[in-house]
Amino acid sequence: MSSRKRVVDGGEGTGGKMSKEGSGKRHIAALVLARGGSKGIPLKNIKMLAGVPLIGWVLRAAVDSELFDSVWVSTDHDKIEQVALAWGAQVHRRSPEVSRDSSSSLETIQEFIRLNPHVDILCHIQATSPCLHPFHIKEALEFITAHGYDSVFSVVRRHHFRWQEVKKGSGEVTKAFNLDPANRPRRQDWDGELCENGSFYFNTKELIEKGRPQSGKVSYYEMLPEYSVDIDVDIDWPVAEQRVLRYGYFGRGTPEVVRLMFCKLAGCLTDGKIYLSAAGDEMMSINSRDAAAIRTLQEEDVEVVLLTGSEDPVEQTLADKLAKRTGCQVVRVGGEPVDDLAAMLESRKLVWRDVAYIGNDAPDVDCLNLAGLSAVPADAPVVAINACKYTCHREGGNGVVREFAEHILMQKAKAKSQMKQDRIN
The answer to whether 260 and 350 are in contact (CB under 8 A) is yes
Half-sphere exposure of residue 145, counting CA atoms within 13 Å on the CB side?
19
The answer to whether 207 and 13 are in contact (CB under 8 A) is no
Q: Which value, to the nearest 10 degrees, does the dihedral of the CA atoms of residues 165, 170, 175, 181 take?
A: 110
Task: For the beta carbon of residue 196, count every other beta carbon within 10 angstroms.
Answer: 14
CA neighbor of 272 nearest in space, from 305, 304, 318:
318
Does 184 qualify as catalytic in the annotation? yes
The answer to whether 67 and 28 are in contact (CB under 8 A) is yes
Give the strand pairing for 121-125 and 282-283. Answer: unpaired
Q: Which of 6, 114, 184, 325 is catalytic?
A: 184
Q: Which amino acid is at 172?
A: E
What does residue 169 show for φ and ψ, rounded to 5 degrees?
Answer: 80, 0
Please list the active-site residues: 184
